[in-house]
């Protein structure tokens, strides 16, 4: 098997060029590819189109790439947890396409399953439906939604082996498995990179066939957006 293991995020992202379309896993700041984002920041890659459920916060996640004006377009379901995003949107510097969350996830899924398009109900009768083909099944109307075409998928997993098999943890799974399946080149960063055989095949969430490059991430901050607790009684 060809070697999928890269030593650093910089090595793994070596060929991402200006203008690339990249998917980034994560929900809010949970399960985001922290190391890959740092590498993009360092590389200074520009005019990126980012497909990601959210756009980070001012000083973390994709928010870091917005601050350095590396993002041309965001394709997301919920944004605006950061002031810089709002400023760039209102000034016209940043293009934003808003997509219902389930539609976003399913369009990634379609890519990974080799489906050119799927019929989905979200957004029927709303501005999301503008210009889209519709079809009625039973008594319900659906929109024709196309699979994404992304150059790269940057995903974050809990554990991975050198063949690219991935296991996610908790709700940090979110968009990562579908995006891993959808990238023309999928780059996975993991908290624990292990030898083939160390992961139980029964517990693999994403088979290595979908993962082209993998590296051991480090320095994970795993920032919490809304720390909510109850007192010990």
- Contact residues: other proteins, CB under 8 A: 27-31, 53, 76-80, 86, 89-90, 98, 100-106, 108-109, 120-128, 158, 168-178, 205, 222-232
For residue 173, give both structure tokens.
């799974």
What whole-number distance in Å separates Cα of residue 55 and Cα of residue 151? Answer: 19
| Distance in Å, CB of 64 to other proteins, minimum | 18
SS3 158: strand
| Distance in Å, CB of 221 to other proteins, minimum | 9
In the complex with other proteins, the residue whose CB is nearer, 104 or 150, is: 104
β-strands 48-51, 21-24 pairing: parallel
Residues 164, 170, 172: CA angle, nearest 5 degrees: 65
In the complex with other proteins, the residue whose CB is nearer, 157 or 193, is: 157
For residue 78, give both structure tokens.
């919920």
Spatial contact of 205 and 177, defined as CB atoms under 8 Å apart: yes
| Distance in Å, CB of 152 to other proteins, minimum | 19
In the complex with other proteins, the residue whose CB is nearer, 41 or 89, is: 89
In the complex with other proteins, the residue whose CB is nearer, 13 or 104, is: 104
Residue with tokens 């008594």: 139
What whole-number distance in Å separates Cα of residue 178 and Cα of residue 186? Answer: 11
In the complex with other proteins, the residue whose CB is nearer, 9 or 108, is: 108
Q: Which residues 6+ apart lie within 8 Å of 143 measured at CB?
A: 119, 120, 121, 122, 123, 124, 128, 129, 132, 133, 134
SS3 85: helix
| Distance in Å, CB of 200 to other proteins, minimum | 17
For residue 55, give both structure tokens.
């756009």
| Distance in Å, CB of 223 to other proteins, minimum | 7
CA torsion through residues 50, 54, 58, 59, sign:
negative
In the complex with other proteins, the residue whose CB is nearer, 16 or 164, is: 164
| Distance in Å, CB of 172 to other proteins, minimum | 4
């Amino acid at each position: 098997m060809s070697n999928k293991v890269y030593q650093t995020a910089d090595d793994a992202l070596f060929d991402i060029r200006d203008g690339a379309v990249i998917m980034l896993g994560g929900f809010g700041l949970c399960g985001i590819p922290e190391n890959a984002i740092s590498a993009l920041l360092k590389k200074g890659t520009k005019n990126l189109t980012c497909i990601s459920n959210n756009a980070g916060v001012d000083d973390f996640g994709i928010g870091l790439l917005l601050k350095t004006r590396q993002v041309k377009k965001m394709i997301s379901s919920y944004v605006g947890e950061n002031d810089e995003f709002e400023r760039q949107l209102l000034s016209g510097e940043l293009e934003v396409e808003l997509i219902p969350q389930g539609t976003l996830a399913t369009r990634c899924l379609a890519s990974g399953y080799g489906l050119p398009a799927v019929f989905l109900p979200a957004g029927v009768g709303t501005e999301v439906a503008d210009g889209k083909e519709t079809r009625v099944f039973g008594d319900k109307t659906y929109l024709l939604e196309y699979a994404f075409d992304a150059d790269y998928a940057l995903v974050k997993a809990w554990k991975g082996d050198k063949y690219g098999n991935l296991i996610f943890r908790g709700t940090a799974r979110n968009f990562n498995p579908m995006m891993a399946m959808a990238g023309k080149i999928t780059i996975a960063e993991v908290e624990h990179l292990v030898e083939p055989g160390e992961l139980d095949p029964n517990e693999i969430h994403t088979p290595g066939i979908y993962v082209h490059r993998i590296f051991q991430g480090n320095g994970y901050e795993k920032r919490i957006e809304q720390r909510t607790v109850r007192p010990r009684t």
